[in-house]
Chains A and B, each alone.
Chain A
Amino acid sequence: MCAAAEERAAGARRWGLYVHLPFCRQKCFYCDFPSYAGQAGRMAAYVEALLGELAREGAPLRAAWGPPRTVYLGGGTPTALPPALMERLLAGLRDFLAADGGPRAEAARQDVSAVRAAAAAGQAAAPGARGGAASSDRARDAAASAALEFTCECNPGTVDAAYLSLLRAGGVNRLSFGVQTFDDALLRRIGRIHTAAEACVAVRQARAAGFRNLSLDLMYGLPGQTRAGLEASVRQALALAPQHISIYGLQVEEGTAFARAQAAGRLALPSDEESEAMYDYMTTALPAAGYARYEISNFARPGFESRHNLGYWQDVPYLGVGASAHSYLDGQRYENPRGIEEYLAALRESGRARREEEPLTRATSMEEFAFLALRTARGIDRARFAARFGCELASVYADAIARMCARGFLEEDAQGVRLTPLGMKYGNWVFEAFLLDE
C-alpha cells in the first residue's frame, strides 16, 4: 500500500488526537463520564490551558510521526462551548495540525486547506438527494483515506445553523450527534436537554452546513423503553440517512443518578428478554439497511467507519488532552486528572498533566490487544499480532481460541479470529478467555 510505503519512508505513523471538553448544560442521568454542569466561568481558561498542553505534549509526536490522522472532540458536550471559544479552540487545533516540522506537515497543510475549501463549498451547496451525496462522499473519502478525520460530538440541543457552520469552517468534517432516542418522554426521563424534533433539525442543519459524514448515537435498554419504541427510533434514525450509527445498551454505572434511583428501587428497566429483543432487532435491522456492524456497538455505511475509534481497537497510539483524557503512547497508558481544577492546577504547577498508569506488561499488552481487536468485525489479525509481539497468535492463545470456537463464540481462518454473532452477544466471556494467567 502506498500509505504504508510512505510511513516507512518518512517515519510517519498513524496516531490520533483526542480533545476532552468536560462541560455540560446538564448531566444526563446515566452518565459517568467526567463532565460538569455550571462551569461556564472556567471555559476560557480551560481552552487556553488545553491548547498549551497540546503544544507541549503534541509537538514531539508531530515531529516524530507527522500530524495526527484523526482528531476527536469529545465530552461532556464540546458544543457547550460558546461560539467564540469554539472558534478559538478550532483555530488552535488548526495551528497545531498545520505547523512545520513533521514528516507529513506539508500533507497536513494540504488536508486542512482541502477541508476548508470543501467546507466553503458545502455551505454553498444545497442538501442534495441522498444517493448523490452518498456517492460523492464515498469518492471523496476513498481519495483521501489518509486525510484528516475530524469529529466533534454534538448535543442537538446546543447547536444551531451558525454554530454548525462555524464547526465546518473550523475544520471539523464529521459530527456525532447524541440523539439517544426519538421519544421525547424517554429523553426527559434520561435527563437529555433536547427533543426528537430538535435532533432532526440539527441533522438537517448539519447537512446544510456542508457535513457529509454524520453519526447518530442511540441507546437501548432505557427505563420504560419498549421494543416497539426502539424500532421506531431506529426507523427515524435511518430516515435521516446518517453515514454512521452507534447503539449503546444502557449500563447503570456507579455514582450516576440512575444508580441512585436503582438503589432506591425507582428504576424500572426492561426485562432481560425485552432488552435482548432490542439488541437482536438492531443488530439485524441496521445491517439490512446497509450499515455494516464493524464493531460491537458501531454500524456504518462502507467507508464511513470511525477511523479515530478504530484506532483505539487497533493498537494505534493516541494523545489525549484535557481533563481526564487518556493517552496511549509507545505501549504506555497515561491519564490526566479528572477534575477541571485539578487539571488546571497540574498544568500551572508543572506544565504537564498526564500521569503514567500502571505499566503494561507484555502479557497485559497482549490481553488488551486481543480484547480490543475482538470488538471489531475484523477481529484479531494474525499478521498484526505477530508484527506487534514477535510471536504467533496461536503460540499464546491456541487454547482460548479452540475453547471459544467450540462454544460457537469465535471463528478463525488464515487471516485471523473474530467473534461470531453469538460471540458478540457474550463478548465479555470471550474477552475473559483472552486474559493470561500470570
Chain B
Amino acid sequence: MANQNIRNFSIIAHIDHGKSTIADRLIERTGTLTKREMEDQVLDSMDIERERGITIKSQTVRLHYKASDGEEYELNLIDTPGHVDFTYEVSRSLAACEGALLVVDAAQGVEAQTLANVYMALENDLEIIPVINKIDLPSADPERVKKEIEDVIGLDTSNAIECSAKTGQGIDEILEAIVTDIPAPEGDAAAPLRALIFDSYFDSYKGVIAHIRVKEGRIKKGQRLKMMATGKVFEVTDVGCFRPQPVDLGTLAAGEVGFVAGSLKDVRDVRVGDTITTAEKGAAAPLPGYRGVNPMVYCGLYPVESSDYDNLKDALEKLQLNDAALVFEPETSVALGFGFRCGFLGLLHMDVVQERLEREYHLKLITTAPTVIYHVYKTDGTMLKVSNPSELPPPTEIEHIEEPYVKATVIVPSDYVGAVMEISQDKRGEFKGMDYLDTNRVMITYHIPLNEIIFDYFDRLKSATRGYASLDYELADYKESKLVKVDILLNGDPVDALSTIVHKDRAASRGRQLAAKLKEIIPQQMFEIPIQAAIGSKVIARENVRARRKDVLAKCYGGDISRKRKLLEKQKEGKKRMKAVGSVEVPQEAFMAILKID
C-alpha cells in the first residue's frame, strides 16, 4: 500500500477516560473483528488488565478503513497505558506515530495525566485530534471541556470530535478525521532499512517478537537483518501486522507498523529503542532511540519457599523480556533468605509484576515495603546509592543523605484546594504554584519527597477530595534531608526486612505506629512476642503480641465435620504467606505494614 494511504496513530488519555473502549469501537466499526469475536477491551489481553480495567502494555492493531473519499486506508492503532507508572510505554508508542487522538472525558475534563500525555505527544511532533468522550453522560459538558483544552493545553478545539464510545456516536467522524488530519508517514521504501523497535515480547514458539515501525526501506521474510546496537544478526521468519492477532504478511515497508520475528531466542538481543537494518549494505546510522527508563521504586521479592529461588529468577527474566522497566538483582536478607531487589516505575507497576509472578508463574512471594533510592554521602567522600534500608551505613559514616523529590501536579475542584495543601504540607511538600484551569478547577504544583508519595499520598488525596483529585508526577531532583533508619526487633532480634528510612522528625511517631500495626498483624503464637522499634541502639517504641493460650475447636460431631474442615483450610490459607523469622511466624502483610499505618 502506498504511504499516503497509511496512518499511524495512538490514543492518549487520563486513566478511565475511555481510551480502550474507543479502540474497541474502531476495531468493530472497521470490521477488523466481527461482533462475535469482540470481547470488551480486546486490546487489554492480560487478565490483570481486564480485571482492573487498565492498560499496562501497549498493543498495536491494524485496521482497514474505506474512507468517504473512496480510498482504502491502513490505520495502525497503537493503544497505550494511561497510568503514570507506565508513561514510558506511552512515549515509546508515540515515537512510532504521526498523530494521536487525545481523549478527554466530557464530564471530568482535563486531568493531570491528560496534560502529561499531551506534552509527550507534542514533543514527538504529533498531530493531535481532541476527542470529547462520554457525551451521553447527563453530567457531560463538552463546551466547558473544550474551553479547558484550549485554555490549559493551548490546543485548537475547532476540529474536536464529540463522541460516545458507549453508544457509538462520533466513531465514524473519528475514523474520517484520522484520515484527513493525521499526516501520512514519510520515508523512502527504496532507502536502506531502518526500523524502530518500540516493544517486544517473548513467544515460546517463535522466540522474541519485536514490535516495529519501519521508517525507511523494507523488510522481507528470509532476509538477514542486524540489530544496530547489539550487533545481533538474524533471519526473518515472520513479518506482519496485528489484527489484533499476529498475521504474517511476508513484508513490511517504510511507513508501516507491525512485527518481526526471527531466530531471536535471547531477549537481551532485542532492545527496545534499537534500530533494525539489513545485515549487508545496512543503514549508516541508527534512528534516535529512547531515553532509558529508570526505576523509581524498589522492593525486595523473596520466595516463601526458599526452594523457589531459581523459579523466581526464571520468572523475573521472562517478565523482563516484555517489561523493559523492570530491573532486578540478587540480594540476601538475614530474615528472608535469598531473593531479589527489584526496581519498578511506581507502585502500580510493582503490584502488577508481583501479581503476574504469582498468577502466571505460580510463585508464593514475600514482598518488602517499597523504598526509593537514597544518595548517601559518606564521610570518606564517596557516595552510595541505597535502595534497601538495611544497607544504610552506620550514622557515624554518613556525612549527609539526599532523597529524591518529584514535581507533583494535582488537579482538583477549587473547593478542595485547602485539603490538597494540607496533605501536601504534611508530606513535607514545598508549594510551587497554583493555576486556575477555569472558574472552579485548580492545578496545584508541589515538590514532594518521592518517599512520601509512595507512602500513601495519593490514597489520602483521593479520600480528602472524594476521588476528584488527579495526580501526575515526575522526578525533579535530589535534596538533602535529615533521614534516619528505624529498625524493628521481634523477640529481641532485628529483622532487616522490616527496617525503614524516615525523616528524623517523624521517626518516633512512625516507630510507634509501626510497632502498633505489627502487633495487629502478627498472629498470636504460643509465646509472647515483644516488638520494638529502635533508632540505632535506642528503643523508641515497644509492643507485645500476647501468647495464644489455646486454640482448639471444642465441638466436632457428625454435622460439623465439613464445616470444620473448611475452617481448617481457611486457617491454613491464612498462614501460607508466613515466613519463619527466627522463632516467629511473620505474615506477608507485616513487611508492608509501613504502608498501612495512618
Binding site for B on A (CB under 8 A): 16, 18, 248-249, 251, 272-273, 275-276, 279, 296-297, 309, 312-313, 318, 320, 324-326, 328, 333, 335, 357-358, 364, 367-368, 371-372, 375, 424-429, 431-432, 435
Contact = CB atoms under 8 A, between A and B. Distances in A.
A30 B511 CA distance: 41
A427 B558 CA distance: 18
Contacts of A432: 568, 571-572, 575
B284 interface: no
Contacts of A312: 556-558, 561
A342 to B, nearest CB: 16
A181 to B, nearest CB: 15
A18 B552 contact: no
Contacts of B550: 275-276, 279, 425-426
A325 B560 CA distance: 10
A395 B405 CA distance: 58
Interface string B78-91: 00000000000000
A429 B565 contact: no
Interface residues of B, number: 23
Contacts of A431: 568
Contacts of B558: 16, 18, 312, 318, 320, 326, 328
A318 B560 CA distance: 13
A273 B549 contact: yes
Contact of B549 (A276, A335, A368): A276
Given A333-B561, A428-B553, 18 more contacts: A248-B554, A251-B554, A272-B548, A272-B549, A275-B549, A279-B550, A296-B552, A309-B557, A324-B559, A326-B562, A424-B552, A425-B552, A426-B551, A427-B552, A428-B568, A428-B571, A432-B572, A435-B568
Contact of B562 (A275, A325, A357, A429): A357
B339 to A, nearest CB: 22
B459 interface: no
B35 interface: no
B526 A364 contact: no
B569 interface: yes
Contacts of B206: none
Contacts of A279: 550
B311 to A, nearest CB: 16
B555 interface: yes
A41 B562 CA distance: 32
Contacts of B562: 326, 333, 335, 357-358
Contacts of B526: 426
Of the candidates B526, B559, B575, the one having the most CB atoms from chain A within 10 angstroms of its own CB is B559
A14 to B, nearest CB: 14
Given A273-B549, A424-B552, A427-B552, A435 B569 contact: yes
Interface in B550-598: 550-559, 561-562, 564-565, 568-569, 571-572, 575
Contacts of A276: 549-550
A325 B554 CA distance: 20
A128 B572 CA distance: 52
B546 interface: yes
B313 to A, nearest CB: 23
26 contacts: A248-B554, A251-B553, A272-B546, A276-B550, A296-B552, A297-B554, A313-B556, A318-B558, A320-B559, A324-B559, A325-B559, A326-B558, A326-B561, A326-B562, A328-B558, A364-B565, A371-B565, A371-B568, A372-B561, A425-B550, A426-B551, A427-B553, A428-B553, A429-B551, A431-B568, A435-B568
User: 7 tightest A-B contacts by CB?
Assistant: A427-B552, A276-B549, A248-B554, A425-B550, A326-B559, A249-B554, A272-B549
A55 B587 CA distance: 53
Given A18-B558, A328-B558, A426-B526, A368 B551 contact: no
A334 to B, nearest CB: 10
A273 B547 CA distance: 10
Of the candidates A251, A357, A367, A435, the one having the most CB atoms from chain B within 10 angstroms of its own CB is A435
Contacts of B557: 309, 312
B572 A435 contact: yes
A424 B558 CA distance: 20
Nearest to B524: A272
A248 B553 CA distance: 9
A236 B85 CA distance: 70
A26 B571 CA distance: 33
A162 B282 CA distance: 109
A367 B554 contact: no
A276 B550 CA distance: 7
